[in-house]
Amino acid sequence: MTKRRQFVTGLAGLSGLSLTSCGWKLADVRAASTTKGSRDQLYVYTWTQYTDKELLTTFSTQTGIKVLADVYDSNDVMLAKLQAGGGGAYSVIYPSDYIVRKMVDKGLLAEINHNRLIGLDNLFPRFQNPTYDPNNRYSIPFSWGTTGLIYNSEKLKTPPEDWEYLWQNQEQLSKRMTLINDVREVMGAVLRMLGYSYNSQNENEIKQAYEKLKILKGAIAAFDTDAWRNQIVAGDLLLAMCYSADGVKITQEYPKFKYVIPKSGSSLWTDTIVIPKSAPNPDGAYAWFNLILRSEVSAQITQRLSIATPNRSGFEELPKKIQSNSNLFPPESLLQKCERIAFLGKIEEVYERYWTELTSA
């Protein structure tokens, strides 16, 4: 999702990460790459956004465990790698909520022993028994947010209020806007705009969303979850569909950019941390979980990475200015219009078929 450019140098020195033009990449992590020394190494597979120098430093100092991280820019990429047998070295993974259910159904996740966790009761009540993983049996929430639009307010004098803005201003935005590289997010947003559910299981409705996107396809610069950041800052883009964590961070650094949650509704997402069944260092994974569950640590992560914490105790330690940031912590009236993306089973093949047709055309 987001590269933390300011952390790259420190991370490379701390964790043995090699740098590429697309962010941090672990030099050579292969399936079950090694079992020797697994107790003093923790391999993490995460969104680029969540690679945090200070968190890694704190963890390594307190545990003596060296953290090595690999990153991905979509849930589909992560899941495909695991299913292909390329994730045997990882002990901690950061899937989004609806992917947790899919990973459980595929038998990829270890059940979490709550007796080994400290601070689970620090979570807000709505995160203690989530629909995607009742009673947090297989996952612990790490962050949450919405999906919306970020735009250059100096170039776009009329601000976007809803998804329909992209079609209404297609000519002006042509080749200067991007959409997230995620089938359920993009199709879901259009479904919501059309008055349907993000989680529609009606093939006719899904087709309508596809047809609507076909009209816009020629104006879209790319389906991208990551590279848009540098492009919009450089002035190459006027608008991008993005996750709130990315949008909030950019608006804090560059006030001319504004983030909006479309008024017809959007997705409400939670990114989680899980332990795969193949984890070579589950003890290290539990130590990682317990560090993140500490209220002061969760508050620090929120301030450093501009992400919304699901930790109630951590939220209470945040400065009032951050607590009142409605893009980071939207009011309940707005959240009621948002939907959590759900795992839909067989009908997801329909989404994938139309997505392939759209993105490969």
CA-CA distance, 35 to 13, in Å (whole number)?
23
Do 324 and 347 have their domain in common?
Answer: no
Q: Tens digits of per-residue pLDDT, 38-88?
A: 788 999 999 877 878 889 889 999 999 999 888 887 888 899 999 988 888
Do 283 and 352 have their domain in common?
Answer: no
The amino acid at residue 85 is G
Do 259 and 317 have their domain in common?
Answer: no
Do 250 and 346 have their domain in common?
Answer: yes
Q: Per the confidence metrics, is the pTM higher than 0.85?
A: no
pLDDT at 153 over 80: yes
Do 340 and 225 have their domain in common?
Answer: yes
Label the pairing between strands 41-47 and 66-72.
parallel
**Structural tokens at position 183:** 């089938």
Do 153 and 225 have their domain in common?
Answer: yes
Q: Of residues 30 and 176, which shows the higher confidence score? A: 176
Domain that holds residue 203: 145-267+334-360
Do 227 and 107 have their domain in common?
Answer: no
Q: Tens digits of per-residue pLDDT, 304-349?
A: 988 999 999 999 999 999 999 999 999 888 888 899 988 898 999 9
Do 242 and 160 have their domain in common?
Answer: yes
Do 74 and 162 have their domain in common?
Answer: no
Do 126 and 226 have their domain in common?
Answer: no
269: confidence class by pLDDT, cuts 50, 70, 90:
very high
What is the structure's pLDDT at 19? 27
Number of domains in the chain: 2
- CB 129: neighbour CB atoms within 10 A? 12
Do 293 and 351 have their domain in common?
Answer: no
Q: Tens digits of per-residue pLDDT, 154-176?
A: 999 899 999 999 999 999 999 99
Do 50 and 105 have their domain in common?
Answer: yes
CATH of the domain at 49: 3.40.190.10
Using alpha carbons, list the distances in angstroms from residue 226 to 182, 223, 231, 240. Answer: 12, 10, 10, 10
Instruction: Find the mean pLDDT for residues 286-300.
Output: 96
Three-state secondary structure readout of 6-53? HHHHHHHHHHCEEEECCEEEECCCCCCCCCCCHHHEEEEEEEHHHCCH
